Structure 1
């Protein structure tokens, strides 16, 4: 007998601007060295805590018992490999060095005449912040890179990110119109050897002002308003924070309807992607898939001629690949559903709902 899947008849028409938190955090009040804490988290949950942004940090803080001043392990540890990161957490997909820079140490990045130069992060430069309300903000103050990062996070959003050549040219013009001295300007690109235990690409860092980069593993410091310090994993026995993923890739090849039913029976639902932040979280997990595309909780209504999420919301934030996601989908011979590509730019595509793909479930009702 055919089974019918019921969807909300009333679609929420307002766009959600709140971030969906990818992880649930669990504070473990047992003292272990970092390696022992990592083993415990991997056995009981997913891994030692990963933090993608300040929203994650706020959620993590809610899980903590700050009734004492002991430091608390998280999942960040030092490796021997240096990589470039954006302070905002955006993936590094574009570089514009004045020369072929290869990173061997902690460095930060200035822009000069549209080209990028790496230099010591402790140098003092003027800088550019990015704000969701006002766009680019020119900060005509001399600060170290880390102080500039803190200033931007407190007053705007973060140090500016540059994703492509067009944005680089726009930023160059913005700087030239305001920077009469021609001084070099900090942007949000930095390098470090730190890596999350779960291999996440997250470049979020929340180091305290006294951070010296001598230790091997990171810990939250309650005495420093929850900012992080670095400590030696072997010599310190600390409580710690684990995380449990709120998104999970199911490596089974099912039709969209079967995937929806699986998620609702075994987890909460197929994932809805209602913000660029949630898209980044999907991008983090979709690389684990074994199919070239992965089902999302995205569905096309032939009767209404619209796309909607199974959570009941219309599609406000969009990340469609060119030629996909139109309101005039061909509903014959089958209804169309939405998937995210597991490679390339990981944009969304329209597929017949009978295709058999991996899919992403969410473990939280948030």
Structure 2
């Protein structure tokens, strides 16, 4: 049996002392397919590695010694609305792997070039399905639907697919193909935002129409290449610094829980940490989530329980002001789990989910 070697990589970012370690990375020198590597990382750590910036890339390349290493980036079909593509209704031999947008014709789905111009179906929160008899490419159709309705249509099950087929037949006598809200794009395994890109020249090229997973390559300084997910390579797992605890506790109870079981309630001292909070807070089951943020009536200021002053701020309008001094109840800080995910002031007796830091 192949021996597994573990190389913990502590990524030291250029930041304040309180935030130097954002993730802990582990290089696993055992060859697996992308799916096998993902399963391994999720069982033993958090997930296959997410690479958010150049610092992550530089640190990873200092510690790996294989030509190609899996990271947690995969090309997947997803809905414009943000819903996962759990139900699929592809026509025979579709998708063929060459194109990134989906259209519907005769009740079945095909992949097509996003630059093609077709009619399309929007969804409106109050009106339901809306047939748009204007020819647009997929991106323009998406923009139109978002500006004038809600989004391009999402199909979540067989019943919705049959309803959509009937609606199209009733609205589109020509029988033309129509865009739906399904498209394919790169996505991190842990659902982090796909904002940082570090592809090698002419990559991704999807050679053969089957290259749906990403590796970092040593001979091009850690730039990414797309490759078939069935290949076997070593890989990098990560452990997040932050963890959402889906228990509803008061702020003081949450603080005690984090300090007993992890390190502390999270302090958010930079845009980078706020972005990481935004990545994990979507796992919460309450509308707001406790942070390690507290208001001192004696000093009249907000402070972090780690002992730091609040320099970086991300307050929602009307929150975090001097008016807190007039509140009769003790106030603590939380982050909204939806919407703009800004900070809000809440009575410390409210019972919310919370975010712990797992290492210092």
- What residue is the counterpart of 2:12 in the other structure? none
Instruction: For residue 52 of structure 1, report the CA deviation from its aligned partner.
Output: 2.0
Contact 2:75–2:213 (CA<8 Å) still a contact in 1?
yes
Q: Give the alignment's Cα RMSD to 1 decimal.
A: 3.0
User: In structure 1, what is the Cα distance between the partners aligned to 2:69 and 2:46?
Assistant: 17
Structure 1: state its 5+ residue gaps: 1-14, 85-101, 108-116, 120-190
1:344 equivalent to 2:336? Answer no
Alignment of 1:254 with 2:228, yes or no, is: no
Maintained 8 Å contact 1:82/1:193: no
Moved beyond 4 Å, runs of 4+? 15-21, 81-84, 102-107
CA offsets per residue over residues 112-157 of structure 1, 9 Å max, x none?
Answer: xxxxx999xxxxxxxxxxxxxxxxxxxxxxxxxxxxxxxxxxxxxx
Taking structure 2 as the reference length, the TM-score comes to: 0.64
RCO higher in structure (CA 8 A, sep ≥6): 1
State which structure, 1 or 2, has the greater radius of gyration over its C-alpha atoms: 2
CA displacement at 1:230 relative to structure 2? 1.1
2:351 pairs with 1:356: yes
Provide the C-alpha distance between the structure 2 equivalents of 1:305 and 1:218, rounded to a whole number of angstroms: 50
1:202 maps onto 2:202 in alignment: no
Counterpart CA distance in 2 for 1:258 and 1:61 is 41
Aligned CA distance change for structure 1 residues 282 and 207 (closer, same or farther; 3 Å): same
Indicate conservation of the 8 Å contact 1:20/1:278, yes or no: no
Partner of residue 99, structure 1:
none
Q: For the residues of structure 1 that align with 2:113 and 2:309, how far apart are their CA atoms?
A: 46
Offset of 1:56 from its aligned partner? 2.9
Which residue in the other structure is 1:53 paired with?
53
> Tell me, which stretches of 5 or more residues in structure 2 are unaligned?
1-14, 82-100, 103-111, 116-135, 139-182
Cα distance in 1 for partners of 2:312, 2:137 equals 34
Distance 1:32 1:72 in 2: 10
Counterpart of 2:218?
Answer: 222
Q: Does the 8 Å contact 1:270/1:297 carry over to 2?
A: yes
- The alpha-carbon deviation at position 296 of structure 1 amounts to 0.4
TM-score normalised by structure 1 residue count: 0.63
